[in-house]
């Protein structure tokens, strides 16, 4: 059983809907899941301008719950249609009965977001974390041919993170891991980033940090209170902190670290080499050393 294709023997999570109906529905009757990616206002504005001229090209996807609808895909289109001034939006509507469980419905929404190249690193991390959690809980079987494994570590420990990453990445074929960028180490980084406190993640969702893996990992390493304080500095105007490291220095009352020049970084590493390794380095770079000695007149 593959996480990319199945959540249970009867639920396919990545194929396009094969049943349902196309109709216009009231925007006010649509509920947006709390974990739905935050829309970029620039994208919404571009869609609005296009829709004002050409109309809505592609329907959104929703699931019908009585008189209301659960959004699967298309929040930017909804907002663009609203800004054009329409009360209705074209939607592909599926019945709630077509999904075997709430988990299957959530996975439909997650897969609709994660299979898009423009996801930010933060968006992708949050979706991978939710996907892993739902898949493990729903199937109970993490890797084909293995008995169900229950992680016995502290759920917040590094051992648990390593185990979860290994098990979830193992549900994908090697080809799927390459296509989706979801090998063990990548999953581990995403799960680490997903530890960013929810309100903080929402606040920085449209900040440049949201697409900077190193910055997100640095933010995730801090406590929830410090994450909030760092977000305050990153988002403050007109001149806030330009990086997580800069914000941390400000919070801790320490001067920011001065970045070393490339030669300084190498010099520190060279100094720590054993003498035989230093001599091998001299042999490899003999021409450069001799050129330097000539310039010094030696």
pLDDT digits (tens, 9 = 90+) for 245-254: 989 998 998 8
Whether the predicted pLDDT of 103 surpasses 60: yes
The domain total for the chain is: 4
Range 260-284 average pLDDT:
84
30-44, 159-173, 203-217: least confidently modelled range: 159-173
Whether 92 and 176 share a structural domain:
no
Average pLDDT, the chain: 80
Model confidence at 204, pLDDT cuts 50, 70, 90, reads: very high
* Residue 281 covered by a domain: yes
pLDDT score of 173: 73
178-196 burial, b if ≥16 CB within 10 A, otherwise e?
eebebbbebbbbbbbbbbb
* Residue 151 covered by a domain: yes
Query: What distance in Å separates the CA atoms of residue 254 and residue 249, rounded to the nearest whole number?
Result: 5
pLDDT tens sequence across 128-157: 888 888 777 766 544 444 444 444 555 667
* Residue 1 covered by a domain: no
Query: What distance in Å separates the CA atoms of residue 180 and residue 194, rounded to the nearest whole number?
Result: 17
* Residue 104 covered by a domain: yes
Q: Which of 193, 213, 241 is the last residue of a domain?
A: 193
Query: What distance in Å separates the CA atoms of residue 223 and residue 242, rounded to the nearest whole number?
Result: 20
Which domain covers residue 129, as residue numbers?
A: 119-193
pLDDT score of 217: 95
């Amino acid at each position: 059983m593959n996480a990319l294709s199945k959540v249970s023997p009867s639920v396919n999570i990545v194929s396009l809907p094969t049943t349902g109906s196309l109709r216009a529905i009231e925007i006010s009757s649509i509920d947006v899941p709390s974990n739905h990616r935050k829309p970029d206002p620039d994208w919404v504005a571009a869609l609005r301008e296009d829709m004002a001229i050409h109309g809505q090209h592609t329907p959104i996807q929703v699931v019908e719950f009585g008189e209301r609808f659960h959004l699967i895909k298309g929040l930017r289109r909804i907002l663009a249609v609203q800004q054009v001034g329409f009360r209705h939006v074209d939607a592909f509507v599926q019945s709630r009965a077509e999904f075997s469980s709430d988990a299957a419905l959530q996975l439909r929404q997650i897969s609709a977001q994660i299979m898009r190249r423009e996801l930010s690193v933060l968006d992708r991390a949050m979706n991978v974390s939710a996907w892993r959690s739902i898949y493990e809980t729903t199937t109970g079987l993490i890797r084909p041919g293995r008995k169900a494994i229950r992680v016995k570590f502290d759920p917040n420990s590094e051992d648990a993170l390593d185990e979860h990453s290994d098990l979830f990445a193992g549900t994908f074929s090697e080809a799927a891991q390459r296509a989706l960028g979801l090998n063990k180490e990548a999953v581990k980084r995403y799960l680490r980033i997903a530890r960013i406190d929810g309100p903080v993640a929402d606040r920085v969702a449209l900040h440049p940090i949201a697409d900077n893996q190193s910055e997100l990992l640095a933010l995730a390493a801090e406590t929830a209170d410090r994450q909030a304080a760092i977000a305050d500095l990153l988002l403050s105007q007109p001149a806030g902190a330009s990086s997580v490291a800069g914000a941390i220095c400000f919070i801790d009352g320490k001067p920011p670290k001065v970045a070393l020049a490339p030669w300084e970084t190498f010099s520190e590493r060279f100094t720590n080499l054993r003498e035989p390794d230093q001599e091998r380095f001299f042999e490899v770079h003999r021409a450069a050393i001799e050129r330097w000695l000539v310039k010094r007149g030696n």
